């Protein structure tokens, strides 16, 4: 008999994700939806057992098949997930999807379909909606065979089922037996959504499959590792707001970067840095509309209602809101006991100068491969670039959002150079008016500053920040943004130092706490997936193609069984941090694209 209430937490990498580009849900390999925020990516959760117990909300659906082998797959070229059980008695599959609706403003609609492929199996269901991160009591009631979930001040939900349900401890429960080729279905949505009991799940499934397959078919990638590249692209698309064009950093909050530690953040927001990198990945694959949509969203962030430039934050809510106050959910025990569980992100108020470079790189690339920049867009670009001329020599907290002291970080200085460089290139290519002399003087000053103040002659490598001797994984972007040649002797000596200090079996750490002690947090984190893929691309660009190929193949084996990546790896390459992480997947796409061309002997014609 299935013991739902005492079901243990699943590992971070034991999950698939489904989504409709408005919200997303995580489904573990036991058939439980243990994370789901509703109705938006950054709304309060209704299922949150991933960060506590099933009492924090879960939609558990599983066959009673002891010792069955479990596996998960995506229906080919889609974000429709299938969880399967194989045993001597039966083979059972559950298909999960969030419906892609024809109307962009439709609320999320979750469909779960169970089918017995062979044999006979008893299926058990428990759906416990717990509103507001399980902070607000939820009452369940039955009416006309459907279960309603209500809570004060929270949106009501309704669950429809093809089999009779009962109420137990404010959860919907059911048990039934299915013979071979028999099935059952369950639909969860808003309490007044007519689609919940429409009986049109076949149509909804077909429409959703058609959407995902039609979208990924537009990819121009035809090289090696096509399946992994396509899966990364599908994950990035799933993390993109269909309504707003914003791109979130990850689908989850509170998943630990340190097992049992305090490095638990909320990533359900749009970071200018991460989203701008995602634009690069989309355009590499030929998805121009996604890049254009993001730039339209971004335009609303750099102008106020009067059309005047405003302060650029490092992150925003999906709808563009600027303040994301941080709070701790003390009632949740955390994943693996990692506390505190945080929602919101105080980094919105930090100063991170590197965002100007990522922003301007995205503007430059979209203008080159997508929509040409408008007159108003260029005015804002000039104002932003002028700001960089004023502030590039300031201290900040750096790309990794340090919560310790501010420093003069190499990566921040590097990306200020990128901002000036891309603005000058864009103005030149489009014959746009610009203060070329001032911008070029600043660009040259930053260039000289980096070579003078961030190169440590004694150590023979670049350093993380002025006054430090530490290395940093973000240095791997230096040749990727074309600041330094990938075969420059000083860069190669830096790459070698990174290999010795930050690389472990192809997994690259952002920095070492014992080197710098600057992030203001206890404990050490895992290796950073994006840095690991940047490392592969750096090796390939440096001519170490065979080594890059081997390291890349190893990293591919560190994906979860569905080809998804969280933010970090532990020492055994198990996943840590929020998942799936956009930065991990876009770095994979970039590395795969470049490495495939090197292995094929093709000229790398796609250039930033």
Inform me whether the pLDDT recorded for 53 exceeds 50: yes
**Same-domain check for residues 173 and 273:** no
Question: Dihedral (C-alpha) 31, 34, 40, 45: value to the nearest 10 degrees?
Answer: 150
Residue 291 placed within a domain: yes
For the stretch 340-394, pLDDT in tens is 999 999 888 888 999 999 999 999 999 988 889 999 889 999 999 999 999 999 9
For the stretch 420-433, pLDDT in tens is 999 999 999 999 99
The whole domain housing 362 covers 227-600
Residue 216 placed within a domain: no
Domain boundary among 193, 216, 249: 193
Mean pLDDT, rounded, of the chain:
94
- 124 with 186: CB under 8 angstroms? no
Q: Compute the distance between CA of residue 307 and CA of residue 303 in angstroms, rounded to an integer.
A: 5
**Same-domain check for residues 314 and 409:** yes
**Same-domain check for residues 182 and 231:** no
Whole-number Cα distances in Å, 423 to 334, 365, 439, 481: 44, 11, 8, 14
Can you give the pLDDT at residue 304? Answer: 52
Can you give the pLDDT at residue 606? Answer: 45
CATH number reported for the structural domain that contains residue 585 in this entry: 1.50.10.10
Q: Compute the distance between CA of residue 176 and CA of residue 174 in angstroms, rounded to an integer.
A: 7
Can you give the pLDDT at residue 601? Answer: 84
**Same-domain check for residues 307 and 240:** yes
Lowest mean pLDDT, pick from 96-105, 196-205, 537-546, 582-591: 196-205
Residue 6 placed within a domain: no
Give me the count of residues in the chain. Answer: 608
Compute the average pLDDT of residues 525-538. Answer: 96
Name the residue among 95, 163, 158 with its Cα closest to residue 123. Answer: 163
Can you give the pLDDT at residue 345? Answer: 95
Q: Which letter does DSSP use for residue 586 in this model?
A: H
Residue 37 placed within a domain: yes
Name the residue among 534, 607, 562, 588 with its Cα closest to residue 233. Answer: 588
Residue 29 placed within a domain: yes
Element (H, E) at 139: strand 139-143
**Same-domain check for residues 189 and 313:** no
Domain boundary among 140, 169, 193: 193
**Same-domain check for residues 243 and 183:** no
Q: Which letter does DSSP use for residue 135 in this model?
A: T
Residue 264 placed within a domain: yes
**Same-domain check for residues 189 and 231:** no
For the stretch 479-493, pLDDT in tens is 999 999 999 999 999
For the stretch 16-35, pLDDT in tens is 999 999 999 999 999 999 99
**Same-domain check for residues 263 and 356:** yes
**Same-domain check for residues 183 and 112:** yes
Coil/strand/helix, residue 278: helix
3-state secondary structure labels for all residues of 285-350: CCCHHHHHHHHHHHHHHCECCCCCECCCCCEECCCCCCCCCCEECCCCCCHHHCCCCEECCHHHHC
With vertex at residue 431, the alpha carbon angle to CA 425 and CA 433, rounded to the nearest 5 degrees, is: 90
For the stretch 104-113, pLDDT in tens is 999 999 999 9
Of residues 285 and 370, more confidence is placed in: 285
pTM: 0.95
**Same-domain check for residues 258 and 402:** yes
**Same-domain check for residues 184 and 242:** no
Residue 2 placed within a domain: no
CATH number reported for the structural domain that contains residue 146 in this entry: 2.70.98.50
**Same-domain check for residues 544 and 480:** yes
Task: Tell me the HSE value of 187 on the side-chain side, using a 13 A CA sphere.
Answer: 24
Name the residue among 13, 6, 4 with its Cα closest to residue 32. Answer: 4
Domain count, the chain: 2
For the stretch 300-347, pLDDT in tens is 887 654 455 557 899 999 999 999 999 999 999 999 999 999 999 988
Can you give the pLDDT at residue 149? Answer: 98
Compute the average pLDDT of residues 267-284. Answer: 92
Domain boundary among 147, 170, 193: 193
Residue 72 placed within a domain: yes
Can you give the pLDDT at residue 299? Answer: 83
């Amino acid at each position: 008999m299935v013991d739902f209430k005492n079901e243990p937490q699943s590992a971070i990498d034991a999950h698939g994700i489904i989504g409709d580009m408005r919200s997303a849900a995580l489904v573990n390999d036991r058939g439980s939806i243990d994370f789901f925020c509703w109705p938006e990516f950054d709304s309060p959760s209704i299922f949150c057992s991933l960060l506590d117990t099933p009492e924090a909300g879960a939609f558990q659906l599983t066959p009673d098949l002891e010792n069955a082998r479990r596996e998960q797959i995506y229906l080919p070229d889609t974000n429709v997930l299938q969880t399967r059980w194989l045993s001597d008695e039966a083979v059972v599959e559950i298909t999960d999807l969030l419906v892609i609706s024809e109307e962009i403003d439709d609320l999320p609609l979750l469909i779960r379909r169970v089918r017995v492929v062979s044999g006979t199996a008893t299926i058990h269901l428990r759906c416990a909606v717990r509103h507001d991160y399980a902070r607000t009591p939820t009452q369940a009631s039955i009416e006309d065979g459907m279960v309603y979930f209500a809570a004060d001040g929270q949106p009501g939900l309704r669950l429809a089922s093809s089999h009779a349900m009962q109420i137990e401890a404010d959860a919907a429960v059911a048990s039934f037996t299915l013979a071979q080729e028999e099935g059952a279905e369950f639909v969860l949505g808003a309490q007044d959504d007519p689609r919940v009991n429409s009986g049109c799940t076949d149509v909804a499934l077909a429409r959703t499959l058609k959407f995902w397959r039609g979208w990924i078919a537009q990819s121009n990638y035809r090289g090696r590792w096509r399946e992994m590249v396509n899966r990364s692209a599908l994950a990035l698309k799933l993390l993109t707001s269909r309504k707003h064009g914003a791109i979130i950093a990850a689908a989850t909050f509170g998943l630990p970067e340190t097992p049992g530690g305090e490095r638990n953040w909320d990533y359900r927001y749009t970071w200018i840095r991460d989203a701008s990198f995602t634009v690069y990945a989309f355009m590499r694959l030929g998805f121009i509309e996604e890049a254009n949509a993001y730039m339209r969203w971004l335009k609303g962030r750099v102008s106020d209602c009067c059309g005047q430039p405003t302060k650029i934050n490092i992150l925003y809510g999906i709808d563009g809101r600027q303040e994301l106050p941080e709070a701790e959910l003390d009632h949740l025990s955390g994943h693996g006991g990692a506390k505190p569980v945080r929602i919101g992100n105080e980094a919105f108020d930090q100063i991170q100068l590197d965002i100007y470079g990522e922003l301007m790189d995205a503007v430059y690339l979209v203008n080159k491969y997508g929509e040409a920049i408008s007159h108003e867009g260029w005015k804002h670009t000039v104002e932003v670039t002028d700001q960089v001329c004023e502030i590039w020599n300031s201290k900040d907290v750096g790309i990794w959002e340090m919560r310790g002291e501010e420093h003069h970080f190499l990566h921040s200085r590097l990306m200020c150079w990128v901002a000036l460089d891309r603005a000058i290139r864009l103005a030149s290519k489009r014959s746009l008016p610009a203060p070329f002399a001032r911008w070029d003087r600043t660009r040259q000053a930053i260039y000289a500053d980096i070579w003078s103040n961030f190169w440590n002659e004694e150590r023979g490598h670049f350093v993380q920040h002025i006054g430090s001797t530490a290395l940093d994984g973000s240095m791997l972007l230096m040749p990727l943004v074309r600041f330094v040649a990938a075969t420059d002797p000083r860069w190669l000596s830096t790459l070698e130092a990174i290999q010795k200090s930050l690389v472990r079996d192809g997994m690259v750490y952002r920095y070492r706490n014992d080197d710098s002690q600057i992030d203001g947090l206890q404990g050490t984190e895992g290796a950073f997936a994006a840095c690991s893929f940047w490392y592969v691309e750096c090796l390939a660009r440096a001519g170490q193609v065979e080594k890059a190929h081997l390291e890349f193949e190893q990293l591919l084996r560190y994906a979860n069984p569905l080809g998804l990546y969280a933010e970090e790896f532990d020492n055994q390459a198990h996943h840590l941090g929020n998942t799936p992480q956009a930065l991990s997947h876009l770095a994979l796409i970039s590395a795969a694209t470049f490495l495939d061309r090197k292995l094929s002997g093709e000229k790398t014609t796609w250039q930033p």
